Structure 1
Amino acid sequence: MNIHALRLFYYVAETGSVTKAATRLNISQPAVTSQIKKFEKDLGLTLFNPSGRGISLTPFGVELAKQAGNLFTYEEKIDQFVEDFRQGRKGKLRIAATYLPANFLIPGWAARFKAGHPEIEMVITTTNSQQAFEQLKHHEADVAFYGGGAQDKPQDIDWLELFEDELWFVVSPSHPYADHTVSLQEMMMEPFIMREEGSSTRERLVSLCTTYGLKPPQVSLQFSGLGEVIRSVMAGYGANFISALAIREYVERKQLCRVRVQGIQLSNHIAICTRSNESVPAALGQFIEICRSFPPEW
């Protein structure tokens, strides 16, 4: 079926006038009349009855106008659907994030974003850095949020660094090293409470020891969750090497204390990663702008 001709017929039926339909469609009246006559011929059915100067639909014409109305109403809905996605008003954001940004940054950013984009669905997956980058590369995620060493940056992604987050050694307030400065060798003699092998912070600690020719510390307690690690150190046993982003409030409340290590100052890079050579969808671009505009309040 000729959809253009169907549209001409529908507007004539809706307005009740060939002249009004031609004006609405910005084409000439003879062109409308000619194309509708051809449309009738192609259909093999009559759409209009002779009715003096006005128009009168045949029974078939009445029913076809109803069907055409349904079609073009749905077409308008599709056009609006496309425009909503284009403008970032609707859609879905799939976010892969490492532990730090997923737990301490994205919740606040997501709340701000959702306040202005209630019809955008957000799916946030917390994973390790390798899996976050893999999800991004294989189009299983639209964006990856990374917190860790810059050396892990893949070559085939765009990297937007938001800020750097310090890494601190912490102990309980009752520990002899609390609020003191010690050597790295002295610090590595302490038992540590850490997350599982493969966690970026634990790997950074091992790498630090390798750089200085020291044996990595004994990990006396190991947990899969950061909350358990923090509470165990607060209970008075062992030390931890951890992101300031995760521990700052405990230090400020004197529930934990820093240990400054001579000559050691390390940081994590908090970055937003997207696929190279791809345009960023409107909704994602608006979310990234919120992340850039509202850094952590320290």
Structure 2
Amino acid sequence: MTPPDPESLRLLVLVGELGSIGAAAAELQVSQPSASKRLSRLERQLGLPLVQRTRRGCTLTAAGVMVCDWARQVLAHVDGLMNGVRALRAQQQATLRVAASMTIAEYLVPRWLSQLRVALPDVHVELDVANSVAVAEAVRHGGADIGFIETPTPPEGVSVRFVTRDRMIVVAPPGHPWTRLRRPLTATELAATPLIVREHGSGTRETLHRALTEVGAEPVTPLLELRSTTAVRNSVVAGAGPAGLSVLAVATDLAEHRLVEIPVADLDLRRPLHAVWRAGLRLTGSAAALLATATRTGD
């Protein structure tokens, strides 16, 4: 026996309460003939007479009264289920999980979120800051609704959209020997110098490494390997050594002469910044709104 559908049970309960198929049909906003057919189908499905029709209306049979009592219990559970689902959906729609690589998270995401909140003031944002590889993994496995990465080549298994372009530069503290050069540094000289770098998986590190290897200069072992852009920047300011960083991260330091940009000949350190989300899904709601904000700001 196929279980009856909830709407047929709801119709039966209303007929028992209102004493009329027409009144029950009006309550459910369906036609009376449609309601009558549904009740007949329910009786055939259960193999029981449920409704006794008279000229004055209709009443439930003895079997109909029992089925109606059970139907009320079933419908209470169905209504509880749907109320719970609606609450979960409302909670998910009101929470936007964002993952962003560190440079983007520190220097671009705050502006994007500020603009997003103007349009969607009730959205609660959870921001996870990690390197680009970890961001892609979070998106791929459903840990974030949308991510932003800095790697030159977008990862596989995610949907990708270009947001804007960033430029990396080589920086050194004032007084470093490179600051006294009267010519641009060569890529070979840069690759032969131990630098302060980010950890493996960082888009900043990958961009610099790829740019050097593309011109045939293999980087030597780093001087320091640190897990945040801020830590790299602070180490350079403190005089530990040079590094390659996004111009976003050091613009203020350059303006206030805490760091010096070191020109490098024939080395392209530009990089695209991308939004990523789970492959096969279409962004909707607050995630789509954030992507639109990021691309509009980037343009």
Superposed pair shares fold, TM > 0.5: yes
Q: Which amino acid aligns with 1:153?
A: P
Note if contact 2:102-2:129 (Cα within 8 Å) is conserved in structure 1: no
Q: SS where residue 223 of structure 2 aligns?
A: strand
Long gaps (5+) in structure 2 = none
The answer as to 2:291 corresponding to 1:291 is no
Distance 1:215 1:182, change over 3 A: farther
Q: Which residue of 2 aligns with 1:70?
A: 76
Q: Which residue of 1 aligns with 2:4?
A: 2
Note if contact 2:13-2:71 (Cα within 8 Å) is conserved in structure 1: yes
The answer as to 2:232 corresponding to 1:229 is yes
Counterparts of 1:123 and 1:66, CA distance in 2:
44
Q: Deviations over 1:114-172 (max 9, x none)?
A: 6727466746351343x4445545555544421132xx234664431111111111122
Q: Deviations over 1:222-260 (max 9, x none)?
A: 333322221121123422111112222322333323222
Q: SS where residue 184 of structure 1 aligns?
A: coil
Counterparts of 2:206 and 2:78, CA distance in 1:
59
Note if contact 1:205-1:216 (Cα within 8 Å) is conserved in structure 2: no
Q: How does 1:147-158 map to 2 (within 5 A)?
A: 147-149=150-152, 152-154=153-155, 157-158=158-159
Q: SS where residue 90 of structure 1 aligns?
A: helix
Q: SS where residue 167 of structure 1 aligns?
A: strand
Q: Deviations over 1:33-71 (max 9, x none)?
A: 575577579486877899x94777887588557536625
Distance 1:39 1:255, change over 3 A: same
Distance 1:16 1:168, change over 3 A: farther
Distance 1:96 1:181, change over 3 A: farther
**% identical equivalent positions:** 23
**Shift of residue 101 of structure 1?**
2.3
- CA RMSD of superposed structures (Å): 4.4
Counterparts of 1:132 and 1:170, CA distance in 2:
26
Q: Which amino acid aligns with 2:223?
A: S
Q: How does 1:117-156 map to 2 (within 5 A)?
A: 118=122, 122=126, 124=128, 126-129=130-133, 131-137=134-140, 141-149=144-152, 152-154=153-155
Note if contact 2:99-2:144 (Cα within 8 Å) is conserved in structure 1: yes
Note if contact 1:147-1:268 (Cα within 8 Å) is conserved in structure 2: yes
**Shift of residue 288 of structure 1?**
1.6
Mean Cα displacement is larger for which, 242-251 or 4-13?
A: 4-13
Q: Which amino acid aligns with 2:259?
A: L
Counterparts of 1:198 and 1:27, CA distance in 2:
59
Q: SS where residue 183 of structure 1 aligns?
A: coil
Q: TM-score, normalised by structure 2?
A: 0.70
Q: Deviations over 1:172-218 (max 9, x none)?
A: 24446559763223963766322345544334434444444556467
Question: Alignment length, in residue pairs?
Answer: 289
Q: How does 1:1-298 map to 2 (within 5 A)?
A: 1-3=3-5, 4-13=7-16, 17-29=20-32, 32=35, 36=39, 42=46, 53=56, 63=69, 66-67=72-73, 70-71=76-77, 73-74=79-80, 77=83, 80=86, 90=93, 94-110=97-113, 113=116, 116=120, 118=122, 122=126, 124=128, 126-129=130-133, 131-137=134-140, 141-149=144-152, 152-154=153-155, 157-175=158-176, 177-178=178-179, 182-185=183-186, 188=190, 192-196=195-199, 199-214=202-217, 216=219, 219-295=222-298
Q: 4+ runs of 1 displaced by more than 6 Å?
A: 45-50, 54-59
Note if contact 2:103-2:229 (Cα within 8 Å) is conserved in structure 1: no
Q: TM-score, normalised by structure 1?
A: 0.70
